Chains A and B, each alone.
Chain A
Amino acid sequence: MPAAEIIAQFDAEMQALIAEVETISPPVTTIGRRSFLKLAGFAGGGLMLAFHFDARTAHAENGTGPTVLNAFVRVAPDNTVTIYSKGPEIGQGIKTAFGLIIAEELDADWKTVKVDQAPINPKVYGYQGAGGSTSIPRGWDQLRQAGATARAMLIAAAAKQWNVPVSECTAADSVVTHKPSGRNLTYGALAKAASEQPVPDVAKVPLKTRADYKLLGKRFTGVDNLKVVTGQPLFGIDVQMPGMLYANYIKCPAVGGKVKSANLDEIKKMPGVVDAFVLDGTGTPAEVMPGVAIIAKTTWEAFKAKEALKVEWDESTASKDSLTQAAAKAKEIAAQMPTPETNVGDVDAAFASSAKVVEASYDYAMVSHQQLEPQNSTAWWHDGTMEIWTPSQMADRGMTMVANMLKLPEDKVTVHQTRAGGGFGRRLANDYMCEAAAIAMKVNGPVKLQWKREDDFAHDFFRAGGYHFLKGGVDKSGKLSAFQNHLVSFSADGKRPVSGGGRSNNSFPTDMAANVRYAVSLMPLQIPCGPWRAPTDNVQMFVIGSFLHELSVAAECDHVEFLLNWFSRPLAKAQGPQQGPPPDPSRTFNPTRAAGVLKLVAEKSGWNKKLPHGRGLGIAFGFSYGGHVAEAVELSVDAKKHVTVHKITVAADIGPIINLSGAENQVQGGAIDALSTAMGLEIAVEQGRIQQTNFSSYPILRMSSAPPVEAHFIQSDFRPSGLGEPCVPPLAAALGNAIFAATGERVRTMPFKRAGYTI
């Protein structure tokens, strides 16, 4: 299949995957009454949650060790509580946050809580991936119910033992107390009896209100920090099994190429090399592309053999893309605006009567993920089972993919979730897991597939670049009255933009004004693209946030005032009958929440304070992946266009905060990641080949350029939303707006390095 078809199919899968990740369907896997009557000892009706299955079948497990109360909670006789985190820890802090949510409702003593990684078992746990900043909002009900139902069972056991009403008992810090008599029993003493209690009807178990929280909202150190700072093996790349071999997998640098010939005999003679073979692959970068596997006794011997490997590639079906050619093409296409896909009001009349009209073109480069732990997985084909250890962000899906790929029943694939040294969206794909499994079928014993850093550059799933040709009109009262954009984007299938390359998913920043015309042109791209932290928004909000500033400047209106007016613009009502569930208000653009964070960031950054020459303050707002976030950047620019960022101020409303320390860390990390990317990162492609091969040509920001980032939270009374992504999109526009304030020069490209700026 030619690269175009391979990539078209891959892109469709990626877009479907992202849609699945971002959609939080009604939470909790529930099972009806009928299936439960089959289980011995189940008393009462109502709905039982799937995670209680474990408790029933694990009954036999409950000997002298910890007692299983449900799939999320075990209690040991010494009163230590083990909570299982069902999602992957990739640095976003959910292992700690999930532990806290359950511990809160369980009323466990956090000091004696241990959080362990749950097995990959979606039948019991439901969804077990992490992406779209959905872990906390998606797990919110299920996790609280896991804690609350276990607590109810512990209280019921105590009440039974004391022969008192449940209503006279209370629980706190892993102890149940009978209030009138003061008698108490620890969870450890009660656990066995609790596990024999009927599982309560979840509808009848109350959950705490925010006023009752003892843990949530306070500062906690990450549950694995002690292990991290003492160098204990935690990551996929750290897996070690007896007799394990090491693999590297070499694919064509231009996607779609196949192996024509390779010097395998020479490679097999090299020291430590056990085998070398060709895999035809499954035809999609989502699984396994054609390549050569080298199996060796040590990593170094595998890497050395890779250097000596000579492959003749058949590139007849490989990508031949050139991004410099695409840039030239985009300029040509710009003037030929196609039939608009959105045409609301009367844009031409609005422009004609505008007090000010601004036209500008913006563009941004392709960028890469480069999570610090290179891709890897360890796989072992034994006893008819494929057993895999992986740092995936979506190991449950990977398990299904491997089963399908190897034509195995799903219960013959066992997946262990490790910690991941960064994900950023790259690890939502499971190609490295599929590669390890395909290789393991041909290896006798466990084999660890490790990508070199150069492999991560050559075989990323990128964030595409794009080109915007904008026109905006401001009326006499200083309000945005007309907006037009011609987006020139990349496409894998010729029909729609690539994954992450389209218009925003949210109501922000569409519905820009009462009069909107929006057209999209597509240019072919045969480089695989995939979700990059805050897909779509990470580029859209740079363009929109900067352009809105251009408009407020043209209108001679204070930018904060301009945005506040703009927030209260009427949003388009959905046309026709509504399909699907009503939108979740906690994940919908809310003008009050938007105004709240914008005003707070203006206050905390000192908006309108007098600044010396060459120093500027820029502000931007974004609503992305459920979070309302406003950011302010204060910086200086010298005569050589070197930028010193003095401070970034962020105000975020994601509802109730779970772990204040973890949340601040995400704000700081997201803002600086965005700064790093906006200032200096770019991927070049020629002849289908990625030009950057390692960090020397991809300068990720270092400490000396990292400014202090101050985080402020407005904890509005909504369901909590996530924080892995929302602080990324507004930064680049705040940065550009600050440079304009400092210098009078407008940056309309990313990376800003292209406009001569350094940091």
Chain B
Amino acid sequence: MPFQLNINRKPRTVDAAGDTPLLWVLRDVLDMKGTKYGCGIGMCGACTVLMDGVAIRSCLTPVSAVSGSITTIEGLAEGDKLHPLQQAWVDLDVAQCGYCQGGQILSAAALLAQHPKPTDTEIEEAMTGNICRCATYNRIKAAIHQAAGSQS
């Protein structure tokens, strides 16, 4: 069944069963691998994308329920210009294995859109849905502060 989506500022038409999670539409139908599968039950955050700027778990969002514009990690940068979060992530060498980091960055982007200078507590609350098995949490927090120009 065809669905009209808006992904990273571009209209895309996909053919999938309505109950197919957006995660698998992105990965298998659109060949966009940045959004990751970690648990399938919305507990790890690796599948995070933004829907109209709000962080959602794409593994739990059927394609039929998608409304509004979707931003995936591939669409966060504007051409060659990295989002300040992406730049901070590189500057501070945040990633270890890197598998969770796309989801982490998008959750952080949603946070900064609401709280441009977040406190540590606001960061922890916003990021609680994103597991990092390698435990790069110290650096994730520091990178968010760096991108926001805020402090611990």
Contact = CB atoms under 8 A, between A and B. Distances in A.
B102 interface: yes
Given A231-B72, A240-B33, A420 B97 contact: yes
Interface string B1-43: 0000000000000001100110010011101111111111101
A662 B33 contact: no
Interface in A293-326: 298-300, 303
A703 B72 CA distance: 22
Given A372-B38, A374-B37, A703 B124 contact: yes
Contacts of B44: 372, 695
B139 A665 contact: yes
Contact of B99 (A221, A232, A372, A702): A372
Q: Which range contains the number of B residues in contact with the other chain?
A: 35 or more
Interface in B72-119: 72-74, 76-77, 82, 86, 89-102, 105
B17 A271 contact: yes
Contacts of B74: 230-232
Interface string A173-205: 000000000000000000000000000000000
Nearest to B38: A372
A93 B96 contact: yes
Contacts of A696: 41, 43
Interface string A662-703: 100110110111001000000000000000001110001111
B131 A240 contact: no
B135 A672 contact: yes
A273 to B, nearest CB: 13
26 contacts: A91-B95, A222-B98, A228-B102, A229-B82, A229-B89, A229-B101, A230-B77, A231-B72, A232-B33, A235-B33, A235-B36, A237-B36, A237-B37, A246-B28, A298-B16, A299-B37, A371-B133, A372-B99, A372-B132, A423-B97, A453-B40, A453-B41, A669-B135, A673-B133, A703-B127, A703-B128
Interface in A363-417: 370-374
A299 B27 contact: yes
A233 B27 CA distance: 10
A706 B28 contact: no
B27 to A, nearest CB: 7
A231 B34 contact: yes
A25 to B, nearest CB: 28
Q: Decide if the interface of chain A is mainly helix, strand, loop or mixed.
A: loop
Interface string A713-744: 00000000000000000000000000000000
Interface of A: 89-93, 219-222, 224-226, 228-235, 237-238, 240, 246, 271, 298-300, 303, 370-374, 419-424, 450, 452-453, 661-662, 665-666, 668-669, 671-673, 676, 694-696, 700-704, 706, 708-709
A232 B34 contact: yes
B105 A374 contact: no
Given A93-B96, A372-B38, A669-B136, A225 B90 contact: yes
B75 to A, nearest CB: 9
A450 B36 CA distance: 12
A672 B36 CA distance: 23
B34 to A, nearest CB: 2
B131 A373 contact: no
Given A231-B34, A231-B35, A704-B125, A92 B29 contact: no
Interface centre among A231, A453, A668, A704, by most B CB within 10 Å? A231
B121 to A, nearest CB: 9
Contact of A703 (B29, B35, B76, B137): B137
A237 to B, nearest CB: 7
B65 interface: no
Contact of B96 (A91, A219, A374, A709): A91
B81 to A, nearest CB: 11
Nearest to B124: A704
B135 A668 contact: yes
B33 A233 contact: yes
- List 4 tightest A-B contacts by C-beta distance, closest first: A231-B34, A91-B97, A421-B99, A231-B73
B95 to A, nearest CB: 5
B44 to A, nearest CB: 6
A709 B142 CA distance: 12
A709 B138 contact: yes
A221 B135 contact: no
A419 B97 CA distance: 8
A410 to B, nearest CB: 29
Contacts of B32: 231
Contacts of A665: 93, 96, 136, 139
A606 to B, nearest CB: 19
Contact of A706 (B40, B92, B138): B138
A694 B43 CA distance: 9
Contacts of A300: 16-17, 20-21, 24, 28
Given A221-B93, A422-B134, A669-B96, A230 B39 contact: no
A422 B99 contact: yes
A246 B82 CA distance: 33
B41 A702 contact: no
B56 interface: no
B70 interface: no
B41 to A, nearest CB: 6
A671 B105 CA distance: 23
A662 B93 contact: yes
A182 to B, nearest CB: 36
Contacts of B24: 298-300
Nearest to A92: B96
A668 B40 CA distance: 28
Contacts of A453: 38-41
B133 A231 contact: no
Contacts of A370: 133
A373 B125 CA distance: 24
A673 B96 CA distance: 13
